[in-house]
Amino acid sequence: MAGDENGVNDDKPEHPTPLRGPDEGLPPKPEGKRPGVAADIGALATGLKTTLREFFSPVVTTMYPEEKTPRSERYRGRHYLRRYENGLERCIGCELCAAACPVGCILVIAAENTDENRVSPGERYAKTYEINMLRCIFCGYCEDACPVQAIVLGPEYELSDTSREKFIYTKEKLLEPLPPDVEARLKAAPPHPTASSGTSPPAGK
């Protein structure tokens, strides 16, 4: 703006937003006199009173490891692999969960079911099923992708451990039974109804 007045920077394009005046855009100044010394000391006393009142109020901290805040029913924590009621694994080794996973933390190696060794009701089952919990972002896409609702996210969030190796959750660990309340919820309202969302293997097998 100053350049415009003395004509030095006339060739330069003007800045799109104009300069602010000295008092423009500032909050209005308080009207009336400044409070006196007595009011100032009164304000200090008010502050002291407030903190003293808080001192004698009950503590609101949740003492975490001993007491926990209530969790939401829809909380997505560590994964579980489910079984049918007759004990067969739900997972059919289709690898759709691994394909859906945005961070690629799921490893599925499938094998054929045989009559001597029947693990799941489908043609194939997951011989290896591993989830790298350090990579997992708990988005739940695997749960959405699964056609047989074999993998679900449970309520546990205390997943810390002492070595990186322990964060590779193997099939044995993932096949641990679900907490009963989550199992009951899944039975009452399956996340998405498919042919095999029931509690027993699909008919015809």
Partner 1 sequence: MNDLYNNAIGHWVIVTIAITALLFVVLTATAYTVWFERVALGRIQRRPGPNRVGPYGLLQLAADGIKLAFKESFVPATTDRILYVLAPCIAVGAAFLAWAVIPIGLWDNPKVTYWIADVNIGVLLVFAFSSLNVYAIVIGGYASNNKYSLLGGLRAAAQLISYEVALGLSLVPTFMIVGSLRLRDIVDYTVTWGPYHGPIPLILLTPIGFIIYIIAAVAETNRAPFDLPEAEQELIGGFLTEYSGLKFVMYYLAEYVNMITVSALATLLFFGGWYLWFVPPFLAFLIKVVLLLFLYIWLRGTFPRLRYDMLMRLGWKVLLPLGIVNVIVTGIILLAVQG
Amino acid in the structure at residue 66 = E
- State phi, psi for 89 to the nearest 5 degrees: -70, 145
17 lines the binding site for partner 1 (CB under 8 A) = no
According to CB under 8 A, which one of 50, 170, 194, 200 is a site residue for partner 1?
50
Rg (alpha carbons) of the chain, rounded to whole number: 32
Q: Hey, how many other C-beta atoms are within 10 angstroms of the C-beta on 81?
A: 22
11 lines the binding site for partner 1 (CB under 8 A) = no
According to CB under 8 A, which one of 8, 9, 48, 190 is a site residue for partner 1?
48
User: Among all chains, which residue has been given the structure tokens 């008092």?
Assistant: 23
195 lines the binding site for partner 1 (CB under 8 A) = no
35 lines the binding site for partner 1 (CB under 8 A) = no
Stretch that binds partner 1, among 50-58, 88-96, 101-109, 151-159 (CB under 8 A): 50-58
Which residues make Cβ contacts (< 8 Å) with residue 91, sequence separation at least 6? 81, 108, 120, 125, 126, 129, 148, 150, 151
According to CB under 8 A, which one of 57, 69, 86, 162 is a site residue for partner 1?
57
Q: Give the number of residues in contact with partner 1, rule: CB under 8 A.
A: 14
Q: Hey, how many other C-beta atoms are within 10 angstroms of the C-beta on 53?
A: 9
Show the binding pattern over residues 141-170: x = contacts partner 1 (CB under 8 A), - = does not. Answer: ------------------------------
Q: Say if residues 106 and 70 touch (Cβ distance below 8 Å).
A: no
Report the residue number, 55 or 193, with the smaller CB distance to partner 1: 55
Report the residue number, 31 or 66, with the smaller CB distance to partner 1: 66
Q: Hey, how many other C-beta atoms are within 10 angstroms of the C-beta on 166?
A: 13
Residues found near partner 1 in the complex (CB under 8 A): 44, 47-48, 50-52, 54-55, 57-61, 63
